[in-house]
Structure 1
Amino acid sequence: MPEGHTLFRLARQQHAAFAGREVHVTSPQGRFAAEAELVDGRVLDEVTSWGKHLFAVFGPDVVHVHLGLYGKYTSGTGLPPEPRGALRMRWEGPGEDGEGVWTDLRGATACELLTDGEMGLILDRLGPDPLRRSDPAKAFARISRSRVTIGALLMDQAVLAGVGNVYRAEILFRHRISPFRPGKAVTEAEWTAMWADLVTLMKAGVRSGRIITTRPEDRDRKRGAASRTDASYVYRRTGLPCRICGTPVRTEVMVGRNLFWCPTCQAV
């Protein structure tokens, strides 16, 4: 599932390509056809994101998209390709230079038309987003009262918005915190450090379009850009030696997703 930095990048790209201009909105698949007709030809005010949610504002109406596990956008310039398959929503616009731009959405968990008020209800139930101006104390207030494991709490979008499976595994490793520790056992100092680190890592992900959490000195290749195999400490490294202590990385399912951790560096 795309994590928060991906949605932030998408929002920025779509805003740059379409905002301030009339957008031709269609639903070749038909599942979004009635809603597309309501906003078709209207000026797009802005595209923004919060956590894993994307919001495109057309006056009082908002197109809300949640990509889920299988959702994907493809975009291009010039004439769009002939619609094929389950194409939920297509945008077409003149582009900044008049050449023409388009973007297609397939496979999203949610693609719906909301009012401003309905958008507000979604935002109200989401936790703070490290990529937006938001208060990390709101997340800690929930974490510090909970007996639920911190590994599960980090995946709860009502606690913290935008963090998914990769950032969960990596931020806990970087701060040597066991994913099985109850939230109430995480100190405020630990949470403050984790939040600051998430802000830095996720902003770097926005810039590069990749999640890279390893420090150069901990990689197999010490110089240059991190390779795919060097990009993480524990995520998808089951059975491989920990980059710090050499203990085999372990995995098990937590809240429906594979959790990765080092049992030595992240002892309970």
Structure 2
Amino acid sequence: MRNHSFLFWVVLGLLVDGVFVSVTDEVKPVSVMKGDSVILSTGVSELQSDDMLEWIFGEVIIAKIEEKHKISINVFRDRLELDSQNGSLTIKDIANEHEGLYKVDIRGRSETSKRFNVTVREGMMNVSVMEGESVTLRTGVIEIQGHDLILWKFEDHLIAEINKETNQFILNDSGDERFKDRLQPNEKTGSLIISKSRITDTGVYHLQMSNSTYTIQRTIGVTVTAVSVSLRDLAMILGGGGVVLLVGALFALVIYCFKKCKKQRGGMI
């Protein structure tokens, strides 16, 4: 008997009365952080004019397309977006109540069905550090997979790209002196480290992780606080031989007090 992976999947193609049926038993795991936007892909490049599509969350139809007419049921309020071209579903600002099993059914000249198990974890939406400390912007994954593409942006500027499929790690810091020689991507997790942080690093960073199954979009706010002059001067003193001077001053003070006390005692006799 053949061994199969834990995430067992079967794609069955049957031609019945001119209709191609594609059925998958695999449930795609999708792990996101609270506040992310996630795009669940149908795997279809373009819907046909007579295709009917339904997105189901648990047992509830949350969005559907009938003959190119888009209908979104008000379950997630304004969080849902449905792509009328390929049927992909976007859930914006995802929360704990959006965790669960999602299913998409497409019926027309061909029939397709996919399932996604979405889990929502607490995440890091804001990071605060002192000037000079390192900043770590985390993807939240243990290890990026073979077809993952990760993009890191500062405001609207692309600063790092990780393409696992081509094994490319690109840093776009040469044209921006702000990050020059201070960016370091984690090749295993896709997280981005900014060393020796500066006040100018304060701002909004955007993460996009995508593959053939889903796309995750995240926004992380970074605040770099200036070190006060007194703390900076103290650090320079302690780091530049000031400890020796401080010990010497304390030793001289002890000797002075000892001699003064001895002199006072001698005057009392």
Q: TM-score range by the shorter chain?
A: under 0.3
TM-score (norm. length: structure 1): 0.23
Normalising to structure 2: TM-score of the pair?
Answer: 0.23
The structure with more helix, counted as a fraction of residues: 1
| Structure having the larger proportion of residues in strand | 2
Find the structure with the greater CA-based Rg.
2
